[in-house]
Amino acid sequence: MHLKRPELLAPAGTLEKLKTAIHYGADAVYIGGDAYGLRSRAGNFSFEEMAEGVAFAHHHKAKVYLAANMVTHQHNELGASDFFRTIRDIGIDAVIISDPALMQICAMEAPGLEMHLSTQQSAVNYETLNFWQEAGLTRCVLGREVSMAEIKEIRANTSVEIEAFIHGAMCISYSGRCTLSNHMANRDANRGGCCQSCRWQYGLFELPELDHKKAVGAGEPGIKEPFSMSAVDLGMIHHIPDIIDAQIDSLKIEGRMKSIHYVSTVVNVYRKAIDSYLEDPEAYSFKKEWEDELWKVAQRELATGFFYNEPSENEQLFGKRRRRPHYTFIGEVLDYNPETQIATVQQRNNFKVGEKIEFYGPGLNNHEETLECMWDDKGEQIEVAPHAMQIVTMKVKQQVAPHDMLRKAL
Ligand code: SF4
């Protein structure tokens, strides 16, 4: 079977994350603008930042998609014509969209701007995908609730591009159908304001009398942890052959709010695994180091979501996490001189001389060194780098490169 190379699609909440994701191997990124997106707190892009991001991405042969997938109430669509025309002219490769009113405006007012159906539309069968293709959309992001068997059936019965989530947070509710946050905090999950109410900690009460004295929760006999409805994260790193064989066009990583440490690490690992399978499917084998690498960044435990079966209670975190990441991100390499072996580093978290530091860059060429000496920006020797964004220089014996990252064990 001819293996189609899928697109690896990464989240980019900021310009810095966009550049990081592409540098670490993403074929495309998705961003949010100041309007119509679903992440009102995700550090959305101004038009100037979009233009810079698009120029950077296209220079590296990567694409930029823009999420405009909120539910539009009466009058929210005002200004959408200008918005879509502007992002088309900036060079955005496609808009991720869910509201038919916005689709119609986009198609009429910004011809040439491709439209991708957002996961908010919960497209989980090929008839639905064919409907949206006839409506002019070129790609559909599947609902996370679709199984691998269903994806294969969908693939066999539609020619529209298919995008599927392969890593990141899951909703406990049907994606795009949750109003928990609206009720608990008056923040609309479907208009960019989800406050993740499902992950809060709750007490349980005996019914029917709702006697608060009978509340059980943290500290009560028998139940040591408060109750929550937090789904564990999706992680398909163990199943790369399956997702490539299913001919999914685009493999999506969730998380526009996540850090550059997270984006660089997760993209790096999936890039390596995908390339490794495409290079030689017969010889491919899963490497434990890939999973270990994922566990160096902050995330919940990982499961396969709906791909192979309906998630059970094992795919939920009812109390404390059973496993925690054990590294912290401490800096980024800005420059390196191989002759002097001096690296210029921007600090992101406290570190000091004598500590063991792990350096990593694209391609997972990680190495560890003990920090022997460093200097501040005035050339004074220092023992500690305590200030956020502080520029320091340090001796690094093994070659590193700009955009390589530094982390240390907790
Ligand atoms: S409250 Fe939880 S289930 Fe609902 S949209 Fe937010 S993250 Fe998803």
Whether omega for the bond prior to residue 221 falls within 30 degrees of 0, making it cis, is no
Treating both helix axes as pointing N-terminal to C-terminal, what angle do 148-156 and 126-134 enclose, rounded to 10 degrees?
40
Candidate of 197, 229, 234, 316 to mutate for ligand 1, largest count of ligand atoms within 8 Å of Cβ: 197
What is the reported pLDDT for 191? 76
N-term to C-term CA, the chain:
45
**pLDDT for res 38:** 61
CA distances from 68 to 41, 85, 172, 230 (A): 14, 13, 23, 26
Ligand 1 center–CA 189 separation, angstroms: 7
pLDDT tens digits, 349-408: 999 999 999 999 999 989 999 999 999 999 999 999 999 999 999 999 999 999 999 999
Q: What is the pLDDT of residue 31?
A: 96
pLDDT tens digits, residue range 309-332?
988 878 877 666 667 778 999 999
* Residue from 345, 341, 344, 351 nearest 332 by CA: 345
pLDDT in tens, 138-193: 999 999 999 999 999 999 999 999 999 999 999 888 877 888 898 889 888 877 78
Strand partners for 329:
407
Average pLDDT over residues 224-228: 65
**Between helices 100-109 and 80-90, what is the axis angle to 10°?**
60
The alpha carbon of 15 is separated from its chain's Cα centroid by a whole number of angstroms, namely 14
Average pLDDT over residues 59-83: 91
Q: Which of 42-46, 135-139, 265-269 has the lowest mean pLDDT?
A: 42-46
Band (39; pLDDT cuts 50, 70, 90): low
* pLDDT at res. 43: 65
Of 144, 187, 198, the one to substitute when testing ligand 1's pocket (max ligand atoms within 8 A of C-beta) is: 198
pLDDT of residue 186: 87
For residue 172 and ligand 1, the question of a CB distance below 6 A is answered with yes
Would you say the CB of residue 38 lies under 6 angstroms from ligand 1?
Answer: no
| 231 in contact with ligand 1, CB cutoff 6 A | no
Q: Is the pLDDT of residue 102 over 70?
A: yes
Instruction: Tell whether ligand 1 has an atom less than 6 A from the beta carbon of residue 196.
Output: yes
Please work out whether the CB of residue 229 comes within 6 Å of at least one atom of ligand 1. Answer: no
**Per-residue pLDDT at 201 exceeds 90:** no
Mean pLDDT over residues 40-63, rounded?
Answer: 90
3-state secondary structure at position 339 = coil
The amino acid occupying position 96 is I
Please tell me the least confidently modeled range out of 1-15, 29-43, 278-292, 360-374.
29-43
DSSP structure string for 172-222: SSPTT---HHHHHHS--GGGT----GGGS-B-B--TTT--GGG-B-TTBTT
Ligand 1 atom nearest residue 173's Cα: 3
DSSP 3-state of 388:
coil
pLDDT at 151: 98
370, 376, 380, 383 alpha-carbon torsion, rounded to 10°: -40
Residue 407 confidence (pLDDT): 97
Ligand 1 pocket check for 71: Cβ under 6 Å: no
Mean pLDDT for the chain overall: 90
Spatial distance between the Cα atoms of 349 and 171, rounded to a whole number of angstroms: 31
Q: How far apart are CA 4 and CA 249, in angstroms?
A: 8
Tokens 């406990």 locate to 172
The residue nearest atom 7 of ligand 1, judged by CA position, is 196
What pLDDT digit, counting tens, does each position of 236-277 carry?
Answer: 999 999 999 999 999 999 999 999 999 999 999 999 999 999
Share of the chain above pLDDT 70, in %: 91
Asked if pLDDT for residue 305 goes beyond 70, the answer is: yes
Which pLDDT belongs to residue 263? 97
- State the distance from the centre of ligand 1 to the C-alpha of 317, rounded, in angstroms: 14
Instruction: Report the pLDDT averaged over residues 330-340.
Output: 97
Please say if the pLDDT value at position 3 is more than 90.
Answer: no
- The yes-or-no verdict on residue 205 having pLDDT over 80 is no
The residue among 266, 237, 235 whose CA lies nearest residue 20 is 266
Dihedrals φ, ψ of 360, to 5°?
Answer: -145, 155
pLDDT at residue 41 above 90? no
Closest ligand 1 atom to Cα of 198? 2
Q: Domains in the chain, start-ordered, CATH in brackets? A: 7-170+232-317 (3.20.20.70), 327-409 (2.40.30.10)
Does the beta carbon of 216 lie inside 6 Å of ligand 1?
A: no
Split at pLDDT 50, 70, 90, the class of 26 is very high
State the distance from the centre of ligand 1 to the C-alpha of 165, rounded, in angstroms.
Answer: 16
Burial, 221: exposed, middle or buried (Cβ in 10 Å; 0-12, 13-18, 19+)? Answer: exposed
409 beta partners: 327
